[in-house]
Amino acid sequence: MIGVLLFYALYPLVCFLSRRSPEASKKRDRTSVAVNGTAVWDGDTVTLKYAQSGATKQDQSGETKERLKEPVTKEDSPSPNMDEEPLSAGLQDRRKDAAPEMTEVESAVEGEGEGPKMDDGEKVINHDIMYRNQNEKDQSTSTGDHVSEQRALVALPKCLTVEGSMQETSCPEQNHSQTTNLEMPVISVKETLQASNTDKSKTPEEPASAVTECWDDNIVTTRDLPADGAGNSDFAPNPLHSISQTYRKPDELRGAQTGWDFPVRPGLSQEVSCSLRSFPAASYYTTVEPTVPLKVMWRVWEELDAASESVLTPFTIERASLDFTVMSYNILAQDLLELNQHLYAHCPLEVLQWNYRCSLLLSEIEKWAPDILCLQEVQENHYHEDLHPVLSQMGYTCVYQRRTGKKTDGCAICYQSTCFTEAAVSKLEFFRPETKLLDRHNVGIVLLLRPLVATGAELKEAGPPLCVANTHLLFNPRRGDVKLAQLAIMLAEIDAMIKSCKARGEHCNVVFCGDFNAIPYMPLYQLVTTGELYYQGIPTWMVSGQEDLSYKPSYHRLFAPLWPSSLGISDICQYTTENMFKTDCQNSGTRKYTHEFMLQLRLCPAACVRPQDLILIPGVTDNRPDTSEDVQHYYRFRDRLRHQVDLGSVYKHVLHGSGSPEVTTLHSEGGATVDYIFYTPKRAFSKDQRAYKKSAEKGLKLLGSLSLLSEDLLWSMNGLPNHIFPSDHLSLVAQFQLELDNA
Amino acid sequence: MNNKFDALKDDDSGDHEQDQGSPKDSEKEKPEEEEKEQIIIKKKMVVPGPGEHPLQYNYTFWYSRRTPGRPASTQSYEQNIKQIGSFASVEQFWRFYSHMIRPGDLTGHSDFHLFKEGIKPMWEDDANKMGGKWIIRLRKGLASRCWENLILAMLGEQFMVGEEICGAVVSVRFQEDIISIWNKTASDQATTARIRDTLRRVLNLPPNTIMEYKTHTDSIKAWEDFHGLVNASSGR
């Protein structure tokens, strides 16, 4: 009976607490748990279950409420602490109207010691939780019309009072809960997960990774309960009660919030920003039995501050516009995973299985429903067998380009057929047998899309075209020279697309996604974002900055020219001959050269030697090339690489609040930002307002993005891939606004 | 070889003495030249170097200067004109060009000619006899820039008129400079219009710039009419 009681008390609390501290849930420092001032954690088993939310969504709120109270055996009244402390927990207000929750975690907690009774308790509580979840959903549905208004916030107290003793939670995280996502598809993942979770032989690190520090308080509390029955009954109902209260009076809560703002799409979202300890592999923890599902959100949607925007545009002109979402995602090809198993030794085996990862991946795509999806490391057979069929059903049109050579993966761009139509496709292979430098088998895709707008029942092309590019540059940290050349090919193709639009009098905006295998602010990144790079003498390893190889006794440096002119790409990353690659070749075979290109070769070494057969005519053929100003001008720029595509990064590479670096990829050898979404930003327009009014503004307006996570936090989730994130990269998601100039 | 004028390519300074006045003579010359090409191995045709950017056609630079006080004639014109060199690639072009004085810095009554290899910068050449030229008169100070823009566009195949272009000339005169571009078929108005439009674009000419098209037959007639009174090389 005590066990049952304990569970009744424990589960709701856990639910509540995990809601409040989702991000910490993987990073549990059991030893830090203090019970009545004593550090205690004896290895109670705790685990998280990940599942897709959103089973059947009947309106059961009434019933649910009833059931919610069932476990609350003795008192309905919430403890005052629970109700008030959430508000004081330092939640910040965060405006996230349309933020869907990222990942939900159903977690289960179970006291290890209560063997036989466990099953019963587990079932009951499972029900309760499920109903509670449904209840939440129902409630959120009921307020669905005002989703954007709804701020369902639940904060957890920093301190819980149990038996009169204050227990300081070990992390000062803020958290909030959101309604669960009604749109979340039910996928068999849930069953899989449950099955795997109930498997007692599962890897020991899972429990560790599944528990938040906040849970510790919770657990400690509940473990204390048996010692004090009254305390138990007083405390137990609180979580549930406070949650439901929260939903009833979101406004009240919101009023009390400071600093944070929450996503309010039906769904549960939470964010924790506490300093966390790393637990890469807490394998010494005892195994855990999963039971109760809990929902946790790991990543939140961050909208761009509307205030700062309005500074840029003091007055807005009504225009038709198209909001669209772009996702860039390196999904980790299974073959590469298996080839580099040492990078994923920290992962439980089941999260490395393709079927499992694939279903997580697809549900993540479905959740964010990007209008444009740029995938890297898409294994060819998986693309054809698993991804493409589902993506097609989801309304995507896909373009796939496999890497050349022996590697089985490639890149894909998928776009919603109802939003865009294809105007041009370029599949690029960076392997150029005639150019020694380009001996690597990486690829890229450049698409030219035209926005579709519904006019009546019809979809019509409208507005300026959008160039979408996706690539996965060479990984090898030492070969910055190859990376730059590959990047130059991409930029040249993008440039050609832009030019083809310009020729029709259209401005073309660019979204350039991919895994660039280069970290922020290093030379390659600089070239992309500033359009310029003085490369002379830079060590090749430094180009990407992935690793500091300066300790090596010798390394190569960059010297002009980076690549031979036979590549057909200039040092302003443009094609030198218009017919070089299937762009605009009217009379194939004609060797056309632009003025700019001809000028670039003016001072090539071959041009500076006096022709042997040139007769000397004083005053006519006695010029010397290096005396003119022009010559010096051209010399000056020979060690410079430029491009003319205006690009900025969606992500700022530092996390909001904590200031720690964002991480887009993580494996056992470390984490970093190497994935990007670059786009043509909307520049503050000139003073010439008339010009502004005449034509649609150039550039894309960034509306928001999906927050990334820090390396510490990811390690607290046991690294990548894990039960929530199916790849060793995180997805990057951004929403843009494209002005349609036919308004 | 990419050069369409391979058959004519041996048109070097050794041909100076030949009479260019008669079309029939020119036609007869062709087989002779081909034979010569096979015999004279030292006169190898220019080819792009390894890794260089081949041009659609090979070109030859010429330079001419009026000999003061001498009566003008076809013969003397031909003797006054000197081949500077031929090239087949962008790089080779710059080798010559960057060792040549800019037209604006030339002294006296002189011309630079840049013609496809095998075409002589003369009205009487087979490629030119049915042709004509666009003429643009420039005030002093503009010639160097305009000439460079013009020949870069020509070498880079920016005129998009197939094989119609024959060559270009910059003529430095006392009070003005003249640039002209020659094409094969004066009667092809579509081509000449296209050349004009491209010229305006690549030279970045003001809209009111006067551009004059002149057929070579007119030029020859005018020259014959005023034979002895007008300098032979003027307007070429």
For CA atoms A175, A179, A183, A188, the dihedral sign is: positive
User: Is B53–A607 a contact, with Cβ atoms under 8 angstroms apart?
Assistant: no
Cα gap A221→A120, rounded to integer Å: 22
Best mutation site among A579, A593, A596 for testing chain B: the one with the most B CBs within 10 Å?
A: A593
Confidence of residue A517 (pLDDT cuts 50, 70, 90): very high
d(CA B155, CA A598): 9
For chain B, the residue count is: 236
Contact B85 A611 (CB under 8 A): yes
Give the global pTM. 0.49
Whether the CB-CB separation of A303 and A133 falls below 8 Å is answered with no
What is the mean pLDDT of the segment spanning A2-19?
56
User: How many Å lie between the alpha carbon of A439 and the closest alpha carbon of chain B?
Assistant: 18
Which tokens in the block code for residue A572? 């302003």
CA distances, A252 to each of A83, A174, A246, A730 (Å) = 12, 18, 8, 35
Cα distance from B54 to chain A (closest Cα, Å)?
Answer: 7
Instruction: Tell which wins on pLDDT, A531 or A131.
Output: A531
Number of helices (H), then strands (E), belonging to chain A: the values are: 21, 26
Is A268 a residue whose pLDDT tops 60?
no
Question: What's the mean pLDDT when you consider all of chain A?
Answer: 68
Check: CB of residue A704 under 8 Å from CB of residue A304: yes
* Residue A437 near chain B (CB below 8 Å): no
Nearest CA in chain A to B150: A595
Inter-residue contact A3 to A232 (CB < 8 Å):
no
Are the Cβ atoms of A606 and B153 closer than 8 angstroms?
Answer: no
Query: Do the Cβ atoms of A571 and A547 come closer than 8 Å?
Result: no
**For position A701, what pLDDT does the model report?**
92
Residues 6+ apart with CB under 8 A from A128: A11, A12, A67, A68, A70, A71
Beta carbon pairs, A and B, within 8 Å:
110
Q: A657 or A86: which carries more pLDDT confidence?
A: A657
Average pLDDT of every residue of chain B: 78
Whether the complex's predicted ipTM surpasses the cut of 0.85? no
A606: distance to nearest CA of chain B, Å? 6
Q: How far is A539 from chain B (nearest CA, A)?
A: 26
What's the average model confidence in pLDDT over A86-95? 41
Pairing type for strands A509-515 and A466-472 reads: parallel
- The torsion angles phi and psi of A738, rounded to 5 degrees, stand at -110, 125
Confidence at A104, pLDDT banded by 50, 70, 90: very low
Share of chain B residues as helix, strand and coil, in percent rounded to the nearest 5: 35, 25, 40
Query: CA of A325: how far to CAs of A328, A372, A674, in Å?
Result: 10, 6, 20
Question: In whole angstroms, what is the distance from residue A447 CA to residue A679 CA?
Answer: 14
Distances from the Cα of A192 to the Cα of A49, A118, A203, A396, A723, angstroms: 10, 21, 16, 27, 11
Highest average pLDDT, of A119-133, A360-374, A451-465, A627-641, comes from: A360-374
Task: Give residue ranges of B with CB < 8 Å to any A CB.
Answer: 2, 49, 51-56, 63, 82, 84-85, 90-96, 98-102, 106-107, 110, 149, 152-153, 155-158, 160, 162, 202
Percent of chain A with pLDDT over 70: 52
B2 contacts A620? CB cut-off 8 A: no
Is residue A96 within 8 Å of A297, Cβ to Cβ?
Answer: no
Q: What are phi and psi of A535, to 5 degrees?
A: -105, -10
Nearest CB neighbour to B52, from listed A587, A590, A606:
A606
The Cβ-side half-sphere exposure at B214, using a 13 Å CA radius, reads 18
Q: Given this model, what pLDDT does residue B203 score?
A: 85
Which chain A residue's Cα is nearest to B161? Answer: A587
Which among A592, A604, A621 is the nearest to B94, CB-wise?
A: A604
Over residues A630-648, mean pLDDT: 70
- CA of B83 vs chain A CAs: smallest distance (Å): 9
A619 touches B: beta carbon within 8 Å: yes
pLDDT the model gives residue B46:
85
Contacts of A504 (CB under 8 A, 6+ apart): none
Q: Are residues B99 and A624 in contact, defined by beta-carbon separation less than 8 angstroms?
A: yes
pLDDT tier for residue A137 given thresholds of 50, 70 and 90:
very low
What mean pLDDT is predicted for residues A537-546?
A: 92
